[in-house]
Structure 1
Amino acid sequence: MNIVTANKKILLLFLLVLGIIGTQSGWNYQKESTYITVSVQQGDTLWNLASLSAETDRDIRSVVQDIIESNHLQDNADIYPGQVLKIPVDAQHETAVRQQLAQTHYMPE
Structure 2
Amino acid sequence: MIMSKESIIFVGLFTVILSAVILMLSYTSSGQELNQYVKIEVQQGDTLWSIADQVADTKKINKNDFIEWVADKNQLQTSDIQPGDELVIPLKKKHQDAYELATVR
Q: TM-score, normalised by structure 1?
A: 0.48
Structure showing the higher strand proportion among its residues: 2
Higher relative contact order (CA 8 A, sep 6+): 1
Select the structure of larger CA radius of gyration: 1
Q: TM-score, normalised by structure 2?
A: 0.49
